[in-house]
Amino acid sequence: MASSANPTLPSAGTTVAKVTSRVALVGNPNTGKSTLFNALAGMNVRTGNYAGVTIEKKIGRCDLGGSDSSGDRRVIDLVDLPGTYSLAPRSPDELVAVEVLTGDVESESPIDVIVCVVNATVLQRNLFLVSQVLELGKPTIIALNMIDTADARGFVIDVDQLSKNLGVPVVCTSASRRTGIADLKSAIRGELEQADSESVQMSKRDRPLPSEFYEVCDELRSELVSRACTTESLSQRAAAESVLPDQYLIERMLLDRGGEAERRAVRSLGAAVLPAISAAREKLAEKVGDPIDMECSARYSWAARSLQDVVSTKLAKPRNATDWLDAVLTHRVVGLVCFFAMMFLIFQCIYSFSSYPMDAIEYGTGLVSDWVTAIVPPGMLRSLLVDGVIAGVGGVLIFLPQIALLFFFLALLEDCGYMARAAFLVDRVMTLFGLSGKSFLPMMSSFACAVPGVMATRVIENRRDRFATIMVAPLMSCSARLPVYLLLIGAFIPSASYVGGFMSTQALVLMAMYLVGVVVAIPVAWLLKRTLLRGEVAPFVLELPEYKVPSASVLFSRVWEASKAFVVRAGTMIFAASIVIWFAGFWPGDHSRQFEIERELERLESIQVAASESPASELAAEPEIVTESPELDEIAAKIETLEAEHRVLSASLLENSALGHIGHVIAPVVKPLGWDWRIGVGAVASFPAREVIIATLGTIYSLGGDVDEEDEGLMSALRASKWPDGRPVFTVPVALSIMVFFALCAQCVSTLLVIKRETNSWFWPVLSFSYMTVLAYFGAMLTYQVGTRFF
């Protein structure tokens, strides 16, 4: 896919690639901007954040092909900004988007060309944003996207006329069908070359707002300059001018009451500018009426003027596929049935399709583990590699298929346009808990992993709604909790089945664990919206885009990015945590006898294997084996003794290790939960990441780290473990209490770090960690105390 768009860097040919320019993509949401970005940049994409704010930027390399006058290939950096309806900055995030376009971001070189992506089917609405983009005064190209859909709907668009009316190049594209991409590239090339050859004085375009507005703007500008400098000296005047924001931001300062441009002016120039701004607003109101009303009507009439003689329709407004589908999918009854069926189907698919790749990964991890065991002799290094690194990282990688599948389905629903309908359907219910329909997608994502879930809250503009969603997203049962559930359910919940095997107790318990988080999230969100995040009900205005066939490249890149992020996380954080836990369980203590036993065991086992593999007929020819064959029983007995000694020794080493000491300190704390010190250690050890519990339990139950939730060894070790008085440690209430603890706790450093990044404060991650840990503790205690009454 995207082979034509994939840049070859550096080029294999004779010409040398050079990156000289930055091109920004802007546009309304649902204009196919991401698909166009992928078509232009291929897979050569990196994402990043602007320092201090949560706006996500995607940067891709795009080879424009050909060669310019100097014989070099022209390669550009393509900056994809989040979809927006307007360039009026109301939040710091939106301000960053504007500053990227105006070139006010200090750390980055300015944008050379703006490509404004518009949806050809709702051209007039999209021209609102175009009118603001044109005012930035940068070389601009209009990508008239979804032209095929517009064509099918009977719109006839005179592109030349539109280009003439707007005064900028207009290129027809259909990003999903990959048509018009080459034209767009050459248009970008053209604009860049024009900018190269002459320092262009931007041709005066038809300015959308009344001339009075620009007059007042100029007055405000000189007023601000004279306030900023005390003397009339030219040099000071120039310095004051350089402090002033871009002309566009001065315009926004005037237009947006309480907007971000105004706030920034106050920050950089002092509160004294406020009277000047209000005076200018009053003057403007006298001349042309209220600024906001004036702006809207001026821009829309500009849009109508620009579309004169441009759009005609062949058909009288046809009822299109989207309306037909919506009649079903947003129906009061049928719509809800479809909604639940779809959710069920997704979870079903995730579980059924992921088992094969999961088995493959498990097998692969086993192979690596065996290989390391074979080449590294028993000792500290092998223990670190096998019990620490491979067990830790392998135990986490196994969830990659499920995560990839969940992301695939989420991307599918979103890209085809259904997610907005889901938000529409559930909004009323979500408002009861103080959330909104827009919280639905982030919460769904959190079932895979809270990290992308928290990041997906960016679709919620309202700060209070967004933070409330961020706070409850980690309660959704993510895939890292699944192994804990599977291990404990497998070991302790009887597999009785009802309704002809359709429902089993094990499945019911698993479902209950998933529900615990959802059910707890409701009062938490409700409480937050009435305390810390109190405020008016946030508005809900959501565009329901046209249904469309999802773009393979978008799906692929979303799944790829999510999988890559997950593997990196497993490869770094879990890797580090595994080593720390391994070390705490290993040190202090003299392991020489343990390794001696391991060496001896391996020697004996290899003899056993050699003997069993040699056919009886060959035995006669191999005297040394013949002499040993009578001792085979003896060897087996010796292996058993050594294994028993190894178990006891490992257990005592662990108990006297740093981890064991910690365990004994926390033992009284976890006693009310029905846990012994080993479970307590497991829970503490897995504070960085829940997945670690499996490897830790494995280590603790002296089986080494190479156990997973399917491992009969760990399951039976859990079943066999006893309190000093001989009672079994694990009972059904204890297993349930552990599961409830893991369902509610915030044991995930990545999530907490992402919360820090997204809220830009330490308060929220600390709060979510504290409240979830308290909830988990008391939830587990309640489960155990109530459970013991029944079992």
Partner 1 sequence: MTTLDQLQPGQMAKIVRIDGFDGIASRLREMGFVPGQSVQFLRSAPLGDPLKCSVQGSRIAVRCGEARRVYIEPIAEPALVS
The site for partner 1 (CB under 8 A) is made up of: 85-86, 88, 90, 121-122, 124-125, 128, 256-257, 290, 292-293, 296-297, 300, 304, 313, 316-317, 322, 326, 330-333, 335-336, 420, 423-425, 427-429, 431, 437, 461, 537, 539-545
In sequence order, which residues have a C-beta less than 8 Å from that of residue 66 and are 6 or more positions away?
A: 73, 74, 189
- In the chain, how long is the greatest CA-to-CA distance? 113
What minimum distance in Å lies between the beta carbon of 533 and partner 1? Answer: 17
**420/749 with CB nearer partner 1:** 420
Element (H, E) at 381: helix 380-382
**442/545 with CB nearer partner 1:** 545
- Secondary structure class of 317 (helix, strand, coil): coil
**85/771 with CB nearer partner 1:** 85
**83/704 with CB nearer partner 1:** 83
**325/368 with CB nearer partner 1:** 325
Give the E-state strand segments of 410-479 in sequence order: none
Contact of 249 with 98, CB cutoff 8 Å: yes
What minimum distance in Å lies between the beta carbon of 293 and partner 1? Answer: 8
What minimum distance in Å lies between the beta carbon of 316 and partner 1? Answer: 8
In sequence order, which residues have a C-beta less than 8 Å from that of residue 693 and are 6 or more positions away?
A: 484, 682, 683, 685, 686, 742
What minimum distance in Å lies between the beta carbon of 548 and partner 1? Answer: 13
**109/297 with CB nearer partner 1:** 297
What minimum distance in Å lies between the beta carbon of 427 and partner 1? Answer: 5
**135/676 with CB nearer partner 1:** 135
Count CB-CB contacts under 10 A for residue 572: 12
What minimum distance in Å lies between the beta carbon of 323 and partner 1? Answer: 8
Closest among 517, 511, 441 to 478, alpha carbons compared: 517
Cα 759 to Cα 470: distance, rounded to the nearest angstrom:
9
Cα 91 to Cα 461: distance, rounded to the nearest angstrom:
9
What minimum distance in Å lies between the beta carbon of 258 and partner 1? Answer: 8
What minimum distance in Å lies between the beta carbon of 122 and partner 1? Answer: 4
**135/256 with CB nearer partner 1:** 256
**300/347 with CB nearer partner 1:** 300
Q: List Cα–Cα distances, 19 to 77, 285, 687, in angstroms.
A: 7, 47, 44
What minimum distance in Å lies between the beta carbon of 266 and partner 1? Answer: 18
**543/600 with CB nearer partner 1:** 543
Token readout for 397 is 């990688």
Count CB-CB contacts under 10 A for residue 246: 17
What minimum distance in Å lies between the beta carbon of 129 and partner 1? Answer: 8
Token readout for 186 is 């050459």
Residues 587-620 as b or e (16 or more Cβ within 10 Å = b): eebebeebeebbeebeebeebeeebeeeeeeeee
Contact of 697 with 659, CB cutoff 8 Å: no
In sequence order, which residues have a C-beta less than 8 Å from that of residue 721 and are 6 or more positions away?
A: 676, 678, 701, 728, 729, 730
**Degrees, nearest 5: CA angle 531-464-742:** 75
Q: List Cα–Cα distances, 646 to 549, 594, 639, 700, in angstroms.
A: 60, 6, 10, 13
Contact of 346 with 382, CB cutoff 8 Å: no
**189/252 with CB nearer partner 1:** 252
Cα 579 to Cα 26: distance, rounded to the nearest angstrom:
45
What minimum distance in Å lies between the beta carbon of 578 and partner 1? Answer: 46
